[in-house]
Structure 1
């Protein structure tokens, strides 16, 4: 593209520039010839007028004109004082007088127009150029034709030299223009070249490559837009790669997760088939098979719950906070029996909006994880408050807490910070993944803060609040925050 732009621009410049020089040269030539013709006509008119008077004067004295022509014309050659001027006089097409500069007319006479006007021609002879004016004398002497010659060779040569200088200067200027145009195009197309090179590098996998931005012109804006596009592409590719890695990790974890119960089920079934077992051994094997089957069933149910949360919409309704807390107490009563764990509910708001079953499942899951973290003793506080016009629910414990490494991955499916404990509890590592999906369908964000030995805080912030009124949904900002230990 740069080469085509260079050749096209240079060609157009050369055409118009040289055309301009040609037009100027032609105009100068015409001006030179025109001035020479005007001078020749003026001189011719002056000599004809003076010569006519002389002819009258000679005739009045009774002298023959034919014998006095040379003496009458001689002074005009001297008066001109110009060696470039020539005079010739014809009588009835016969040359009767000529000075040395008019010798080119010998054998080649000029005939003026029959209408009595004067004729002007340009003639070349012996590498010289002449302006020749021919015209008859007045009526009484119209048998005579006076021819005036003016040598314009020097003027024409001066014009030729000036024309050559103009074209030589035009050639030099064309070279300078071509060089300047090439430098300008290189500068203009440099960003495009960089964009092309950067695009190739990005296409080859160097997603962090960026253009250098300088200045505030259109090219710098284009570079900024390109960099923004590259950043978005890099961001999208990173997200796609992370999503692919998470999917692969999910598949790997799922395969690993179901391998253990399937191995146990198959092993005990094969043992019962091939070995002679007592009734007690057979019942023990069946218990292991049932236990591992329940684990597979739990995984299947939780995966179905995740799929339903991702594919189905949530119907929001008004939820009474006291009723929600009472239902959670009843559900966790058996879980807390025999443990020295204090579960305290505090509220300063009366209602929230959402799906009661999902929010109850969310809070039970978070409190249940907090109970596991506290062990046989501890303190768990659930609060429902309002801050800065936003509704907040918090769940806080003083359990074991989590390290930053565990904290960054606890919402990933099948991830367990303490694998042995989770398997003993029958967990599949899907609880907090479900919690995250519940908060997502409620237009919320799930966040965790924790320190080992000091407990854990999980915060769910609803970026869009829903207010239920006459079976319609009005969205208002509110926040739900939960503190939890997994």
Structure 2
């Protein structure tokens, strides 16, 4: 059973029970109240008639004895006080009945002197209150029975019940309609959430639960939408990662195929043909050149995959040491290319992994030296709590539409130059990984024909602190 049906039926049952209890309580209270009034009225009237009979007997005493015919007349006169629908019986202990207009005989054995007995009797569809009492007057023991019709009390109760029943069904109908609308309003957000989860499960990750309520269900919808945003973002990241992996595999296969084709071709040429010494030397050079590119590619890939491991320890290091070490490593290459290489570094202590950080600097500086410019600068500058490292060149620069992709594995801005330099497009991808390990990221500023600046920041440490 759906939650809507459960909710609607629950409200309807509660309303039905509540209205039924209310109707029963109202009718029962009214009947009980009316009956008590009729009972009190009947008892009071019985007492009044008894006092009237006693007074009449006292006023008509003749020699201390009231004759029997006179008692009959007294009873008949007293019966007139009951009005229509009433009845009276006056009897003596020894003389029998003096007067009676009751249709059925009465038993006096249950009457005790000084007490009044009463009972409610149903006869032929009528309800009567019969009151009995026993009293002694002028030495004569008398029995008095009065009968009053109280059918009106129950008729009023039945009329009230009929009116309450009509009102009950009217209120129940209106309440059921209201409960139906309320159930729909309260369960509709759940239906929307269910539709959203079903759509999400079917692959529609953009579907959201459009619920603006400020209650628990609205909060649940907001949490669901946030979760859906996160999942969609993760799925998009996974799709992007899968796409990059696919491009990585394709580029890797391509990068392997090109040098291997050259190596196999020139090796087959040497094996199949008799070449001159110059031709053999040229073929060997091509094989060596492509082999060096394969070697560089394998080393870069190993470094790149190794950075996926965890557990690198960053130690406090005086940063000028590693920057000067990187400068010393590349000075011969700069002199060979005719590039002026300047290193300016302010002293500071930072946390880094020495070998990885040196690899980062060497790759950035190597790209700067190969940029075609004449000046390369390695600059280190303190900025309050941070230390900024930047590598600048005045080379060919990087087009703005390619800046977002230069850290992708195997991506090369100038493929022909990269292959001539034994590059594979992995250097900046490696640098981005190393920067991430050090809690920073690379920032690029480049202008075509004017050069490129790559920079990143590290948090400074107080000199002499333990790692």
TM-score normalised by structure 2 residue count: 0.91
Q: Deviations over 1:47-75 (max 9, x none)?
A: 12221333344343566521113321233
The answer for the alignment partner of 1:208 in structure 2 is 206
Aligned partner of 1:302 in structure 2 is 300
Instruction: Look up the match of 1:263.
Output: 261
Consecutive unaligned residues in structure 1, runs of 5 or more:
474-486
In the TM superposition, what is the alpha-carbon distance from 1:332 to its structure 2 partner? 2.2
Q: Please tell me whether the aligned partners of residues 394 and 450 of structure 2 are also in contact (alpha carbons under 8 angstroms).
A: yes
> Corresponding residue for 2:386?
390
Residue number in structure 2 paired with 1:348: 346
Contact 1:136/1:142, CA 8 A, preserved across alignment: no
Residue 407 of structure 1, CA deviation = 0.7
Alignment partners' CA distance in 2, 1:62 and 1:386? 138
With 8-17 and 182-191 compared, the bigger mean Cα shift is at 8-17
CA distance in 1, matches of 2:231, 2:174: 44
- Per-residue CA deviations over 1:177-232 (Å, capped at 9, x if unaligned) read 22212211211112111111111122222222223343533333222222211111
1:408 alignment partner in structure 2: 404
Give the corresponding residue for 2:125.
Answer: 127
- Say if 1:110 and 1:31 are closer, same or farther in 2 by CA, change over 3 A: farther
Q: Answer yes or no: is the 8 Å Cα contact 1:305–1:434 preserved in 2.
A: yes
1:327-366 equivalences under 5 Å are: 327-337=325-335, 339-366=337-364
Q: Does 1:34 align with 2:40?
A: no
Hey, what does 1:478 align to over in structure 2?
none
Gaps of 5+ in 2: none
Partner of 2:85: 84
The match for 1:430 among 426, 432, 449 is: 426
For residues 348 and 142 of structure 2, the distance between their equivalents in structure 1, rounded to whole angstroms, comes to 134
Instruction: Count the aligned residue pairs.
Output: 463
CA drift at 1:11: 1.4
Q: Any conservation in 2 of the 1:343–1:380 contact (CA below 8 Å)?
A: yes
1:166-245 equivalent positions in 2, closer than 5 A = 166-245=164-243
Secondary structure at the counterpart of residue 97 of structure 1: strand
Match of 1:455 in 2: 451
* TM-aligned CA deviation for residue 322 of structure 1: 4.7
SS at match of 1:408: helix
C-alpha displacement of 1:133 = 0.8
Structure 1 residue 142, shift from structure 2 partner: 6.1
Partner residue of 2:53 out of 36, 51, 75: 51
CA distance in 2, matches of 1:320, 1:42: 115
RMSD: 2.5
1:340 deviation in Å?
Answer: 4.6
Give the 3-state SS of the residue equivalent to 1:191 in structure 2: helix
Task: Provide the rounded CA distance (Å) in 1 between the counterparts of 2:159 and 2:408.
Answer: 90
**Distance in 2, Cα, partners of 1:293 & 1:35:** 119
Shift of 1:414: 0.9
The 3-state SS of whatever aligns with 1:445 is coil
Q: Hey, what does 2:416 align to over in structure 1?
A: 420
Deviation at 1:139, TM superposition (A): 6.4
CA contact (8 A) 1:349 1:391 kept: no
Specify whether residues 60 and 320 from structure 1 end up closer, same or farther in structure 2 by C-alpha distance, changes over 3 A only: same
Q: Deviations over 1:225-282 (max 9, x none)?
A: 2221111111221222222222222112111111111222222233333333344433
Structure 1 residues 182, 465: CA separation in 2 closer, same or farther (over 3 Å shift)? farther
1:118 aligned residue (96, 116, 119)? 116
Deviates further, 164-173 or 218-227? 218-227
1:439 aligned onto 2:435: yes
